[in-house]
Amino acid sequence: MNFAVLFEPQNIALFGTGIATTLTLLFASLAVGAVMALVFALLLTGPWAPLRWLVGAYTYVIRGTPLLIQIYLIYYGLGQLEWIQARWDSVWPWTHFKEPFFCALLAFALNTAGYTAEMLAGAIRETSAGEIEAAQAYGMSRFQVMLRVVLPSALRRTLPAYSNEVVMMLHATSLASAVPSMVDVTAAASSIYSTYYLPFEAYLAAAAIYLVASFCLIGLFKVGERHLLAYLAPRAR
């Protein structure tokens, strides 16, 4: 084994580019997906049946198909349609479909939105009826109850499950290497492997990077859970 190769300047720079791409893709897709998930969760728990069915069908398709297939469908499917390519240089938003990073970002955002929406919708449905009745007795409107009582409580209770989703999305970013010219951590390891024929060293370094990033994310969520979910902890008598 020759781990010294990994510490050559060009390989350190390659892994640095891969880490930057991975983290940018992760946090950008989580941010976009969180906004979409919030809207979808409200629709899933709302009174409009057609919208509930439409969003429910979307989440079912997202959760029922592999992420890699979704990436292929967006990059090699939508991105390669002739009528989209004809508008690459002039019509927004089709101008972004020629960018590999945008296609990967769109696939990851749509995927995490589907899972997060179901988690948040479940937390909204499980909100205590007593909390809602107390808010209504206080004179709050339906909108105020949702904004001040239901959503804050649901978001807090969703945090433990969402932390798992974030870690899974970090691991899933390794699939971004399936998109040409995307240099994430896995693509950087593959490049070193193909150049030096060092599969063990290259992929072990990639695994270590993902492991450290996972530990950091889990630690941050543990701190958040300790502060935001303290009111659910058993009280000492």
pLDDT for 149 equals 86
- What is the rounded distance in angstroms from the CA atom of residue 34 to the CA atom of residue 135? 26
Mean pLDDT, rounded, for 63-72: 92
Which tokens hold the place of 50?
Answer: 């057609």
What pLDDT shows up at residue 62? Answer: 94
Q: What is the pTM of this model?
A: 0.88
For the chain, the average pLDDT equals 87
pLDDT of residue 90: 72
Please give the distance of CA 159 from its chain centroid, rounded to a whole number. 14
Q: CA–CA separation, 159 vs 230, rounded Å?
A: 12
pLDDT of residue 236: 54
Instruction: Give the separation between CA 69 and CA 162, rounded to whole angstroms.
Output: 23
Provide the 10 A C-beta neighbour count for residue 187: 23
Q: What does the pLDDT read at residue 97? A: 74
Q: 3-232 maps to which CATH number?
A: 1.10.3720.10
pLDDT digits (tens, 9 = 90+) for 89-114: 676 777 777 788 888 999 999 999 99
pLDDT range class, residue 135, cuts 50, 70, 90: confident
Question: Is the pLDDT at 202 greater than 80, yes or no?
Answer: yes
